[in-house]
Amino acid sequence: MSTDNSIKVKDPWFSAKNLKLLRNPFNMENPITVQVLGICSALAVTVQMKPAIVMALSVTIVTGFSNLIIALLRDTIPSRIRIIVQLVVVAALVIIVDQVLKAYVYDVSKKLSVFVGLIITNCILMGRLEAFAMANKPWPSFIDGIGNGLGYGLILVIVAFFREFLGSGKIYGFDVIPQSFYDAGYVNNGLMILPPMALMTIGVIIWVQRSKNPDLQEKN
């Protein structure tokens, strides 16, 4: 980052505009509940908190760096082959993440199975690359990628929290419901562990969010 005496005044690194890019995906521009991107992998990894958090971090890293790389290359990529170039950049990053997961958290990487590979076709990546990184400077693009990854991660962690807490009485693998409750007749809700409840939980999250922000509501 050289500070040459260019005509344009450079934004400070954490200017209000850049912070807004980081904050927006958490609510008004959430990738999952508003932009409808990246649902494919969002649901299958939310039975427990641990895989969900690992997945969220992996996606955040890949979105951030792929946005950065594409923003750096965007003037040199011919527009006809840009999809392939984007996919190759993303695939390379995903391979790195996958190898790191296999090396350090092998049990989690087994649980995530094919879903790490499916980060490649995660619509958040292509969506943000097309919509933002192809038209903006590297640093804002990086911030945008990180923000969207974290916005995605937020939904993942909320869904995983409810599914693990209600489904198996645990949070991040630790028992939180005392034995006396079970003795008194409390039973874990086995339905929450099953795939359909992930969809329902996201539906309820959307319901809550759109009740709070009426301008997000659709006509029909």
Return residues touching another protein (CB under 8 A): 33, 36-44, 83-84, 87-88, 91-92, 94-95, 98-99, 113-114, 117-118, 120-123, 126, 194-200, 202-203, 206-211, 214, 217-220
Judged by beta carbon, residue 98 or residue 177, the one nearer another protein is 98
Instruction: Find the shortest distance in angstroms from Cβ 118 to another protein.
Output: 5
Cβ contacts of 135 within 8 Å, gap of 6 or more: 74
Judged by beta carbon, residue 94 or residue 150, the one nearer another protein is 94
Judged by beta carbon, residue 112 or residue 150, the one nearer another protein is 112
If you compute the radius of gyration of the chain from its CA atoms, what whole number of angstroms results?
Answer: 20
Judged by beta carbon, residue 94 or residue 143, the one nearer another protein is 94
Residues 98 and 88: their CA atoms lie apart, in Å, by 15
Instruction: Find the shortest distance in angstroms from Cβ 88 to another protein.
Output: 7
Judged by beta carbon, residue 8 or residue 219, the one nearer another protein is 219
Instruction: Find the shortest distance in angstroms from Cβ 102 to another protein.
Output: 9
Instruction: Find the shortest distance in angstroms from Cβ 125 to another protein.
Output: 9
Instruction: Find the shortest distance in angstroms from Cβ 128 to another protein.
Output: 13
Instruction: Find the shortest distance in angstroms from Cβ 178 to another protein.
Output: 31
Judged by beta carbon, residue 176 or residue 194, the one nearer another protein is 194
Ranges of beta strands (E only) in the chain are: 170-171, 174-175
